[in-house]
């Protein structure tokens, strides 16, 4: 197996390569003077199972070189080409809210489905879609962060009260709470704009002895977490811990959040808040999906 990492997460690529007993795919990438991408594969891919770890945060700058690489690996004789992207972009654009809006999750899914044999990701934002199969036509595997987050909470927080800031977070928060044997509450959120959200008041009557732990799949502008934390502060609760599976931290979101909470993320997206290691379950998923989708040679 060859693992290629086009410029997104060398640390995770090294971990996966070692856990999967694979070889690092050798790649040369640069820009022509006019800004177009140059790509050259130096590894011999003939009859190899090739895995591309390309983490699709900030996807627009990564997608074209990624598609070029997948196509080149096939032309060089790869037996299979799979994609591992711990963060799957564009999943939040799952509905046309206003006439003429692009429901970007769908064309993005068609693009990736046309290029890869399979897809592995971590907790994609499944809100209006029930599963990736609703829009992806290739086999996929979703790796869950809940067991890792629950373990981290048990090791680091005493008497946690888990809080999910909106209805779609219930799928993660309920599972983390169950595994960590902690109580949880789910709030209601309304988003009025990119930086404008309101979150309902938590029921904090019985919470004074607990440490609030917010859990969400994505922290982007940080507004969802900040609004929720403001309620907790107003009620006089101890400093909250905000845990995100995918810490995107647009703009100064991280700086704002660290003023009011301890911020922890999985290493789905490389960031100094990373404390929860995802490499082992990701590697296990690659093994399983390869075994299911790729026919062994005679």
Verify binding: residue 220, ligand R5P, rule CB under 6 A. yes
> Closest distance between ligand R5P and the C-beta of residue 190, in Å?
11
> Closest distance between ligand R5P and the C-beta of residue 132, in Å?
16
Which segment (3-11, 216-224, 257-265, 287-295) binds ligand R5P by CB under 6 A? 216-224
What's 97-154 look like in SS3? Answer: CCCCCCCCHHHHHHHHHHHCCEEEEECCCCCCCCCHHHCCCCCEEEECCHHHHHHHHH
Among 153, 215, 218, 264, binds ligand R5P (CB under 6 A): 218
Verify binding: residue 123, ligand R5P, rule CB under 6 A. no
> Closest distance between ligand R5P and the C-beta of residue 95, in Å?
12
Which sign does the torsion angle of CA 23, 288, 265, 56 carry? positive
> Closest distance between ligand R5P and the C-beta of residue 92, in Å?
6
Mention every residue, 6+ apart, whose C-beta is less than 8 A from residue 96: 103
Which segment (18-26, 105-113, 219-227, 268-276) binds ligand R5P by CB under 6 A? 219-227
Verify binding: residue 223, ligand R5P, rule CB under 6 A. yes
> Closest distance between ligand R5P and the C-beta of residue 217, in Å?
5
Verify binding: residue 256, ligand R5P, rule CB under 6 A. no
Verify binding: residue 86, ligand R5P, rule CB under 6 A. no
Among 25, 124, 160, 222, binds ligand R5P (CB under 6 A): 222
Helices (H), the chain: 10-19, 59-75, 105-115, 146-156, 170-180, 223-234, 253-260, 279-293
Q: What are phi and psi of 218, to 5 degrees?
A: -125, 135
CA distance 145 to 147: 6
Of 59 and 139, which CB lies nearer to ligand R5P in the complex structure? 59
Among 224, 228, 265, 266, binds ligand R5P (CB under 6 A): 224
CA distances from 1 to 15, 16, 50 (A): 14, 11, 6
Tokens of 250: 């647009």
- Cβ atoms within 10 Å, residue 20: 19
Site for ligand R5P in 159-198 (CB under 6 A): 165-166, 168-169, 197
Secondary structure (3-state) at 79: coil
- Cβ atoms within 10 Å, residue 250: 14
Among 15, 80, 211, 221, binds ligand R5P (CB under 6 A): 221
Among 89, 216, 261, 266, binds ligand R5P (CB under 6 A): 216
> Closest distance between ligand R5P and the C-beta of residue 210, in Å?
22
DSSP letter at 210 equals S
Site residues for ligand R5P per CB under 6 A? 92, 125, 165-166, 168-169, 197, 216-224
């Amino acid at each position: 197996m060859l693992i290629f990492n086009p410029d997104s997460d060398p640390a995770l690529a090294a971990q996966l390569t070692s856990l999967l007993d694979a070889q690092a795919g050798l790649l040369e990438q640069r820009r022509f003077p006019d800004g177009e991408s140059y790509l050259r594969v130096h590894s011999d891919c003939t009859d190899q199972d090739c895995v591309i770890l390309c983490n699709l945060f900030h996807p627009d700058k990564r997608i074209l070189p990624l598609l070029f690489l997948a196509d080149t690996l096939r032309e060089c004789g790869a037996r299979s080409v799979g994609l591992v992207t711990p963060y799957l972009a564009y999943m939040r654009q799952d509905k046309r809210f206003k006439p003429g809006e692009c429901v970007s999750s769908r064309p993005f899914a068609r693009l990736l489905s046309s290029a890869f044999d399979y897809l592995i990701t971590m907790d994609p934002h499944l809100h209006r879609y029930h599963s990736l199969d609703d829009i992806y036509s290739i086999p996929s595997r979703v790796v869950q962060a809940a067991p890792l987050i629950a373990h981290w909470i048990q090791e680091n927080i005493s008497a946690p009260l888990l809080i999910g800031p909106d209805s779609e977070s219930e799928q993660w928060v309920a599972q983390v709470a169950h595994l960590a044997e902690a109580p949880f509450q789910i709030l209601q959120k309304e988003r009025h704009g990119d930086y404008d959200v309101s979150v309902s008041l938590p029921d904090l009557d019985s919470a004074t002895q607990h440490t609030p732990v917010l859990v969400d799949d994505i922290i982007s502008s940080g507004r969802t977490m900040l609004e929720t934390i403001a309620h907790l502060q107003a009620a006089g609760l101890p400093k909250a811990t905000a845990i995100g599976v995918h810490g995107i931290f647009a703009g100064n979101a991280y700086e704002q959040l660290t003023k009011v909470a301890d911020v922890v993320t999985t290493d789905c997206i490389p960031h100094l808040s990373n404390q929860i290691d995802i490499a082992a379950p990701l590697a296990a998923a690659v093994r399983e999906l390869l075994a299911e989708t790729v026919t062994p040679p005679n």
